[in-house]
């Protein structure tokens, strides 16, 4: 329990900047693991009483089985959707679809199982970037290499090191490209070879 965010180590947190003064977080425990939490926030400092905290702890104890059972169902549903998407992509690759139709199918199926507003399939080579397909709800300024012949961190990691990159918040990376992505409304990026 944080009775006053402004008098805590979280004085500069996102919640404090939004005007919240007190926060209460109650873990939801099952099998000695925190599987979820209840979080209450108020714009008034010191608002949560001992009785309210005890009540919420009691409620949290009853929520664990309720949360766990739907999660098991949701996991099996999600696996089914992913297998179905993989099957559609495999059928597309094995079909006689034109490349544009194939990449459109792949991007559509990826977006069906991975929540995102933009899916890009592209190639990076000596001549620059070639976009096979862009499936996007967001308009983003066209990509331009910041310096010809110099590979970005992203390009090196994906193309040379063959590693996936996950950037939870593009606003925390200071490049021209991440600034364009952030200005367009994109917050996180996942790239994989």
Whether the pTM exceeds 0.85: the reply is no
Q: What are the two backbone dihedrals, phi and then psi, of residue 98, each rounded to the nearest 5 degrees?
A: -65, 150
Q: Residue 157's pLDDT is what?
A: 80
Whether residue 85 is predicted with pLDDT greater than 70 in this model: the reply is: yes
Q: Is the pLDDT of residue 125 over 70?
A: no
Q: Give residue 143's pLDDT.
A: 61
For residues 120-144, average pLDDT:
71
Q: Please answer whether residues 191 and 164 qualify as being in contact, where contact means their C-beta atoms are separated by less than 8 angstroms.
A: yes
Per-residue pLDDT tens over the stretch 143-176: 665 554 556 777 778 888 888 888 889 898 888 8
């Amino acid at each position: 329990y944080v009775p006053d965010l402004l008098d805590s180590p979280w004085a500069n947190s996102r919640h404090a900047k939004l005007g919240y003064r007190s926060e209460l977080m109650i873990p939801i425990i099952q099998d000695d693991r925190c599987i979820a939490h209840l979080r209450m926030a108020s714009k008034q400092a010191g608002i949560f009483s001992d009785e309210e905290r005890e009540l919420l702890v009691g409620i949290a104890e009853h929520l664990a089985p309720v949360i766990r059972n739907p999660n098991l169902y949701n996991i099996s549903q999600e696996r089914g959707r992913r297998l179905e998407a993989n099957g559609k992509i495999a059928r597309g690759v094995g079909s006689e679809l034109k490349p544009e139709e194939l990449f459109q199918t792949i991007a559509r199926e990826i977006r069906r199982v991975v929540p995102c507003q933009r899916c890009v399939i592209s190639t990076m080579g000596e001549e620059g970037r070639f976009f096979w397909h862009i499936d996007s709800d967001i308009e983003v300024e066209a990509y331009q290499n910041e310096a010809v012949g110099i590979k970005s961190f992203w390009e090196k990691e994906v193309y040379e090191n063959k590693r996936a990159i996950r950037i939870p918040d593009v606003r925390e990376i200071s490049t021209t490209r991440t600034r364009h992505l952030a200005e367009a409304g994109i917050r996180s990026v996942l790239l994989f070879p």
